[in-house]
Amino acid sequence: MATLPQPAQPAPAPLLEVIEPLLSVPQAAKILGISQCTLRNWIQRKKIARVKVGGRVMLRPDTIREFIAYNTRPASG
């Protein structure tokens, strides 16, 4: 009785990106150098993106980096 060849196992998908931990509002506010109240206001007015995890409001580190880059103006000289 002939044995059937085993199907090839799929290669594990490479980890395309490392997921950074989300930041809480106090952590993100400290990084930005603003008050938590100001940051919560920006989130409510949709000036900065947020992630909702259960009842908690969190921010992605790359969102903070993009926000800083977008709001950076070159020095005039």
- CA distances to 13, 34, 50 from 25, rounded to whole Å, are 33, 11, 9
Please check whether residue 13 lies inside any domain of the structure.
Answer: no
Q: How many domains does the chain have?
A: 1
Q: Vertex 43, ends 42 and 48: CA angle to 5°?
A: 80
* pLDDT reading at 1 higher than 60: no
Query: What is the extent of the structural domain holding 40?
Result: 23-70
Position 44 scores a pLDDT of 97
Identify the sign of the CA torsion 17, 19, 25, 27: negative
- Give tens-digit pLDDT for 3-58: 666 666 766 666 666 789 999 999 999 999 999 999 999 999 999 999 999 999 99
Residue 9 falls inside a structural domain: no
Domain contains 12? no
What is the model's pTM?
A: 0.72
**46 found inside a domain:** yes
**pLDDT for position 76:** 86
Q: Which residues contact 5 (CB under 8 A, 6 or more apart)?
A: none
Whole-number Å distance between alpha carbons of 34 and 66: 16
